[in-house]
Amino acid sequence: MKDLTGHVEWLNYHHLRYFHAIAREGSLRRASEVLRCSQPSICSQVKLLEEALGETLYRRSGRSIALTSFGRVVYEYAESIFSIGRELLSTARRAASTATLRLQVGILDSFPKLLSIEVLKPVFESRPVVQVTCREGKIEDLLGQLASHRLDAILSDEVPPSGMQIKTFSHLLGESGLTFCAAPELAARLKKKGPFPKVLHDAPLLLPTQNTALRREMEKWFEANQIEPVVVGEFEDAALAKIVAAEGYGVTAVPSLVETEAVERYGFVPVGRTLECGVRLFLITAERNFAHPGVALLAKQFAKTPLSKQLTSQRTKSPTKPPKRRSNAETP
């Protein structure tokens, strides 16, 4: 055997495959049929393997071939190597057939959490399982993550700011009016003061922060209805505002479409409802169509839900339209 020190640094597995074929088939003719290449091509490839290993691997014996002692050793290794390779391919095929679909969703920090849950619920309930990752943040940060493909879609109550150098598509899923809720004792006191929405005048309110679409809509509505509430708290986190309201410190507004869930979860009593201002639900993507299968699934499954039908029915009563007094409803 030749001295291979410093000679062979890596093994060419294509050459090994050719040798494995002629060793297994027992002749160059049958190996050429299996590999679908000419006998001279097989011989030249195996010759390169012999030169790399420094040993003769086989000798011709008539129309057949006979392995040398070293050739038999190499064949055993080759058999093990390619057997493991077949197992690897089989494992990869099984993994591909059962791979978990992953969906990365950004949620605007001011977006109502109960509404987010309702939108995502069909995806959580889908089979096969979709692994959902939710990231909360400001619209600018989320758009940056969408542009760099760290997010597949964004749930937002506003379209991206104009002037941003990021190409996005905003899909309006629907709109919802607002229900003003409070803890039972506060709600009872307010209802004694008079009809809705005037009852909110001088009432303690827990509002979204100034930089949100919902806050801007609410302030327009307050002005149109000549309401001057007492702002006792401003919150970026809508869930925290609900917790504070549940303690009796003020009135909070929730999307009417999730009023039932809010009442059950926080023990609220509705004070009144309006369709004159509210939230719009946008699904923001980097593509015009839902190219990501997870986003397509979200949109498709959401469209089948009762919530989607309610959102669709309210599009003709857009919160962004000029106020109409008759849309305000006092709760019993």
257 or 267, higher pLDDT: 267
Minimum mean pLDDT range among 19-23, 294-298, 322-326: 322-326
C-alpha span between 324 and 32 (Å, rounded): 84
Q: What is the mean pLDDT of residues 262-290?
A: 90
What percentage of residues in the chain have a pLDDT greater than 90? Answer: 45
The Cα angle at residue 244 between residues 242 and 248, in degrees rounded to 5? 105
Q: Is the pLDDT of residue 202 over 90?
A: yes
How many whole angstroms separate alpha carbon 188 and alpha carbon 191?
5
Q: What is the pLDDT of residue 106?
A: 95
At 68 the pLDDT is 93
Residue range 102-330, CATH number:
3.40.190.290
Torsion angle of the four alpha carbons 9, 10, 16, 17, in this order, in degrees rounded to the nearest 10: -170
Q: Taking 70 as the threshold, does the pLDDT of residue 98 lie above it?
A: no
For residue 8, the model assigns a pLDDT of 56
pLDDT surpasses 50 at 320: no
> Please, which residues bridge with residue 280 across strands?
175
pLDDT at 310: 55
Closest CA to 298 of 173, 139, 193, 192: 173
Q: Is the pLDDT of residue 252 over 90?
A: yes
Given a contact cutoff of 8 angstroms between Cβ atoms, the answer to whether 281 and 172 are in contact is yes
Q: Are the C-beta atoms of residues 256 and 178 closer than 8 Å to each other?
A: yes
pLDDT at 33 over 50: yes
Least reliable range by pLDDT among 39-48, 85-94, 222-231: 85-94
When pLDDT is averaged across residues 279-288 and rounded to a whole number, the result is: 87
Token output for 33: 């049929």
Nearest-10 crossing angle of helices 113-124, 293-303: 110
Q: How far apart are CA 261 and CA 121, in angstroms?
A: 13
Q: What integer is the mean pLDDT of 259-271?
A: 94
Summarize the confidence of residues 279-303 as an average pLDDT. Answer: 81
Compute the distance between CA of residue 328 and CA of residue 271 in angstroms, rounded to an integer: 11
Residues across the chain: 332
| Pairing of β 329-330 and β 269-285 | antiparallel
Q: What is the pLDDT of residue 175?
A: 84
Region of poorest pLDDT, from 52-56, 160-164, 213-217: 160-164
> Is residue 327 predicted with pLDDT exceeding 70?
no
**Every domain of the chain and the residues it spans:** 13-97, 102-330
CB 204 within 8 A of CB 230: yes
pLDDT single digits (tens) 289-298: 787 888 887 7
pLDDT score at 321: 42
- The maximal CA–CA distance of the chain, rounded, in angstroms, is 110
For residue 314, which phi and psi values (nearest 5 degrees)?
-90, 0
- Among left, alpha and beta (phi > 0; psi -120 to 50; other), residue 178 is beta
316 pLDDT more than 70: no
Tokens, residue 47: 């010759």
Q: Answer whether 235's CB lies under 8 Å from 208's CB.
A: yes
Provide the percentage of residues in the chain whose pLDDT is more than 70.
Answer: 86
> How far is the C-alpha of 46 from the C-alpha of 117, rounded, in Å?
62
Burial grade of 197 (CB within 10 A; 0-12, 13-18, 19 or more): buried
Are 135 and 164 within 8 A, CB to CB?
no
User: Which residues have CB under 8 Å from 167's CB, separation 6+?
Assistant: 286
Question: Any idea which fold 13-97 has?
Answer: Arc Repressor Mutant, subunit A (1.10.10)
Query: Could you read off the pLDDT of 140-192 as tens digits, one per residue?
Result: 899 999 999 899 999 998 888 887 778 888 888 888 899 999 999 999 999 99
What is the identity of the amino acid at 296? A
